[in-house]
Structure 1
Amino acid sequence: MNMNERIAAWNAEAQQCTCGHDHRLVQMQVFLEHGAIRRLPGYLSEQGYNHVTVVYDGQTGPAAGYEVVKSLQDAGLIADEFQMPENSAGDIIADEAAIVQVLLGVKQMTQAIIAVGSGTIHDLVRFVCAKMNKPFLSVPTAASVDGFTSAGAPLIVSGIKQTFQAVPPRAIFADIDITQQAPQAMTAAGFGDMLGKYTSLADWIVSRDLGGEPFCPVAYRMTEEALTACIENVQAIAEGSAEGITALMDALIISGASMLIIDHSRPASGGEHHISHRWEMNLMVAGRKPVLHGAKVGVACVLLTERYKELASLSREPVFDVYATLPDASQLTAWLKQVGGPTTTDQLGVTPDMVEHAFATAHTLRERYTGLKYINESLNVV
């Protein structure tokens, strides 16, 4: 089955699920193939969109944004373009200032907004689309994050990383010819984001049994199967082959769909993401250059796995046995190293004090029960 057929099958299964969750129908078209962006003009014409805005940045413009704009204009469509400006530090951060820049850069008469980029561009555009009531279309330029299909927009507001409800894309044009050309660091970040599903899925079991939080076996299995596919293709991902990039992007899209189908990030975001968010905020306060989301998540997953395995060995709570089934931290590190991603906090620029602070406070960033929350609030040790 192709991606759209698989999503339809997951939708059908979710609608029959008796877990008690409200299940959203995932209604988007996904073009995961070589030359996917060539489908854009035809898709826009079918939808009746003849005036769109293409948003990119200084890196993703040359990677795909310029080509997207030209192809649309050659097809007789009106394609405005907006290049996200860098901040004073030479970066693009998904914060209040960037949101205003996108709002100012999109004309009211535009009929749809196309995000060309990776996580940051997508988060900004999906949020602006929600506020402007415009359709959101996605052109990923790297297999770097699982948020392409998401309805949530992680934004930094008043210095705090928060996730706001926005809108998912109506369609994703994941062009393998483009994503295969992305820097290996971006691909490694996507793999790191997927590796974090080991601890996020384990945390979901704990949140169900100890926190009484909603649990959906369909969404759980979607994420689990996506993670397994990544591990099975780790060598191809490390090589950056078309097969490997396709497998990774496929997994990222399915992982995102699992969150969308229950309208919550529980399947794909646990303690490892909370630690990553805390590091992101600490690095920003310290005036340090941002680190790729998935790179932080991968390293956080390794460190958290060590703590969780220790918890499983010391606790008499049967629910924590799920942490004993996690791969050894040394194996997680080996996989990260294989794909060319960072494996230590030193490589991220995260100091020992930042690590200690994150493990002591990251559980407060989200209203969610995790092993990290239990360690801090029930064991009162880190």
Structure 2
Amino acid sequence: MNMNERIAVWNEEAQNCTCGHDHRLVQMQVYLEHGAIQRLPGHLSEQGYRHVTIVYDRYTGSAAGYEVVNKLRQTGVHVDEISMPENKAGHVVADEVGIVQVLLGVKLGSQAIIAVGSGTIHDLVRLVCSKMNKPFLSVPTAASVDGFTSAGAPLIVSGVKQTFQAVPPEAIFADIDILEQAPQEMNAAGFGDMLGKYTSLADWVVSRDLGGEPFCPVAYRMTEEALTTCVQHVQGIAEGRADGVTVLMDALIASGISMLIIDHSRPASGGEHHLSHRWEMDLMEAGHKPVLHGAKVGVACALLTVKYKDLAQKSNESVFRVYNNLPNASQLTDWLEQVGGPTTTEQLGVSMEMVEHALTTAHLLRDRYTGLKYINEILNAGSK
């Protein structure tokens, strides 16, 4: 089955689910195929969009943005372009400045906004689309994150990483010809984001049993299956082959839809993401260059796995036995190394002080029960 057929199946399963969680009906077209951007003019014509805005940056413009602009103009579509400027450090950041830059660049007459890029561009566009009540279309340029299908926009606001409710894309045009040209470090980041599902899924079981938080077996299974398939194809991903990149992008999209279908990030974001967010803020405050989200998540997952396996041995709470099922940290780092991603906090540029800061404060970033929260508020508190 292609992705659109699977979305239909997931929708049916979710609507029949008795978990008690609210389930969103996912109405999204996903084209994961060679030449997917060739479908974009037809989609715009079907929707009656004759005036659109395309957002890209210096790198994603070359990867796909300029081609999309030319292709649409050749079909008679009026196209406005926003080339996102870089900050003083030479980076595009999903923060207040970026939001304002997109808002000011979108004309009121524009009928839809197309994000061409990876996580940062998509997060800025999805929030602006939400505020301006405009349709959001996605053209990923790398299989680097699982947030392409998300309705949440993780943004840095007042120096704090926060997720804001926004809108998911109306359609995704994931062109394998474009994705396989992305730098391998982007594939490694996407793979790291997927590895983080090991700890996020385990944390979801903990949050269900100890925190009384909502739990959906359909969304859990969707994420688990995506993770398993991804790991089974690690060699193709490591080599950057078209089949490997396709599997990786498919897994990232499926993970994103699992979050979308329950309107929450619990299936795909646990303690490892909280560590990653803390590091991101600390690195920014220290004036360091940004590190790819998935690269941080992969390293955080391996680091947290050691803590979680130790917790499973020390605690009398039977639910923590779920952490015994995690792969060993050495296996996680072997996979990360195989795909060409960083394996240590040192390689991320994260100091030991930042590591300790994250381990003791990251659980405060989200109101969610995780093993990391238990370690800080129960285990460590009781040992003082």
Counterpart-to-counterpart distance in 1, 2:108 and 2:182? 32
Unpaired runs of at least 5, structure 1:
none
CA deviation profile, 1:234-279 (whole Å, cap 9, x unmatched):
0000011110000000000000000000000000000000000000
Counterpart-to-counterpart distance in 2, 1:77 and 1:124? 23
Q: Which amino acid aligns with 2:205?
A: I
Partner of 1:239: 239
Q: Which amino acid aligns with 1:59?
A: Y
**Offset of 1:314 from its aligned partner?**
1.2
Q: Which amino acid aligns with 1:309?
A: K
**Offset of 1:313 from its aligned partner?**
1.0
The within-5 A match list for 1:71-150 is: 71-150=71-150
**Offset of 1:23 from its aligned partner?**
0.2
Counterpart-to-counterpart distance in 2, 1:92 and 1:243? 30
Matched, 1:252 2:252: yes
Counterpart-to-counterpart distance in 2, 1:327 and 1:234? 15
CA deviation profile, 1:260-318 (whole Å, cap 9, x unmatched):
00000000000000000000000000000000000000000000000000000111111
Partner of 1:27: 27
**Offset of 1:77 from its aligned partner?**
0.7
The within-5 A match list for 1:158-173 is: 158-173=158-173
Partner of 1:319: 319
The SS at the match of 2:148 is coil
Matched, 1:270 2:270: yes
The within-5 A match list for 1:6-25 is: 6-25=6-25
Counterpart-to-counterpart distance in 2, 1:53 and 1:156? 24
The SS at the match of 1:153 is strand
CA deviation profile, 1:38-79 (whole Å, cap 9, x unmatched):
100011000000100000000000000000000000011111
Counterpart-to-counterpart distance in 2, 1:284 and 1:241? 33
CA deviation profile, 1:314-355 (whole Å, cap 9, x unmatched):
111110000011000000000000000000001000000000
**Offset of 1:380 from its aligned partner?**
1.9
- Scaled by the length of structure 1, the TM-score of the pair is 0.99
The SS at the match of 2:379 is coil
Which moved further from structure 2: 291-300 or 89-98? 89-98
**Offset of 1:122 from its aligned partner?**
0.1
Counterpart-to-counterpart distance in 1, 2:160 and 2:79? 34
Counterpart-to-counterpart distance in 1, 2:9 and 2:285? 45
Unpaired runs of at least 5, structure 2:
none
CA deviation profile, 1:163-182 (whole Å, cap 9, x unmatched):
00000000000000001000
The SS at the match of 1:31 is strand
**Offset of 1:89 from its aligned partner?**
1.2
Aligned residue-pair number = 382
Counterpart-to-counterpart distance in 2, 1:321 and 1:161? 31
Partner of 1:344: 344
Counterpart-to-counterpart distance in 2, 1:322 and 1:333? 20
Matched, 1:196 2:196: yes
**Offset of 1:5 from its aligned partner?**
0.2
RMSD: 0.7
Counterpart-to-counterpart distance in 1, 2:190 and 2:2? 21
Q: Which amino acid aligns with 2:206?
A: V
Counterpart-to-counterpart distance in 2, 1:71 and 1:79? 10
Counterpart-to-counterpart distance in 2, 1:197 and 1:300? 11
Partner of 1:48: 48
Q: Which amino acid aligns with 1:125?
A: V
Which moved further from structure 2: 308-317 or 120-129? 308-317
Partner of 1:357: 357
Which moved further from structure 2: 88-97 or 263-272? 88-97
Counterpart-to-counterpart distance in 2, 1:107 and 1:233? 43
Counterpart-to-counterpart distance in 2, 1:39 and 1:67? 13
**Offset of 1:363 from its aligned partner?**
0.1
**Offset of 1:88 from its aligned partner?**
1.2
> Sequence identity of aligned pairs in percent?
79
Partner of 2:298: 298
Counterpart-to-counterpart distance in 1, 2:253 and 2:43? 20
**Offset of 1:155 from its aligned partner?**
0.4
Q: Which amino acid aligns with 1:350?
A: V
**Offset of 1:135 from its aligned partner?**
0.1
Counterpart-to-counterpart distance in 1, 2:307 and 2:142? 31
The runs of at least 4 aligned residues of structure 1 exceeding 3 Å deviation read none
CA deviation profile, 1:23-43 (whole Å, cap 9, x unmatched):
001100000000000100011
